[in-house]
Amino acid sequence: MSTVPTDTVLVVDDTPESLRFLTDTLESSGISVLVATSGEAALDLLEHVVPDLVLMDAVMPGLDGFETTRAIKARPSSAQIPVVFMTGLTESEHVVRALEAGGVDYLRKPIVIDELLARVRVHMTNARIAKGSHFALDATGRSLIAVQGEGALGWGTPTA
């Protein structure tokens, strides 16, 4: 008997009430939830597991969400994981800061359940499509690379 893989979301938040709300909401929608209460704990967890998406609180003591996301994006094993920020910060500069850190989206607290679930599904689907494209290109046997704006290697096939 084979099991169907479930979507997995890592929720990074230092507030127990937010963690409980998000965990209950996601799990009731059939999504597996991993929890980290700090940026440091999230980075440690990502050494062992690769979730389909990260929901990141922007403001946390110690390593904040912006710094944690930059660290996630700097690691080859986690760079492709979509990070969606959640925060009560509402100024445009915070949205820009989240996106510049590597986030793909931004949810304002208090979280609206339908909006949360819709965004999570959209970003997980987009990430799966991108991953499938990478696998397809890898399978061609050709030497292909993608270069980032500053000239750094962004991605390459195994033969490159």
Rounded to the nearest angstrom, the gap between the alpha carbon of residue 55 and the centroid of all alpha carbons in its chain is 6
Q: How far is CA 76 from the centre of its chain?
A: 13
Q: Is 4 helix (H, G, I), strand (E, B) or coil?
A: coil
- For 83-87, 106-110, 130-134, 150-154, which range has the lowest pLDDT when averaged over its residues? 130-134
Over range 139-143, report the average pLDDT. 71
Give domain 8-156's CATH architecture.
3-Layer(aba) Sandwich (3.40)
**Contacts of 21 by beta carbon, 8 Å cutoff, 6+ apart:** 111
Residue 97 has pLDDT above 90, yes or no: yes
Domain limits of the chain?
8-156
For 106, which DSSP code?
E
Cα 120 to Cα 113: distance, rounded to the nearest angstrom: 11
* DSSP secondary structure code for residue 142 in this structure: -
Q: Give ∠ CA 3-80-120 in degrees, rounded to 5.
A: 60
Q: Taking 90 as the threshold, does the pLDDT of residue 154 lie above it?
A: no
Alpha helices, H only, the chain: 16-28, 39-45, 65-74, 92-100, 113-139
- Predicted TM-score (pTM) of the model is 0.82
Crossing angle of helices 113-139 and 16-28, in 10° steps, is: 70
d(CA 10, CA 45): 9
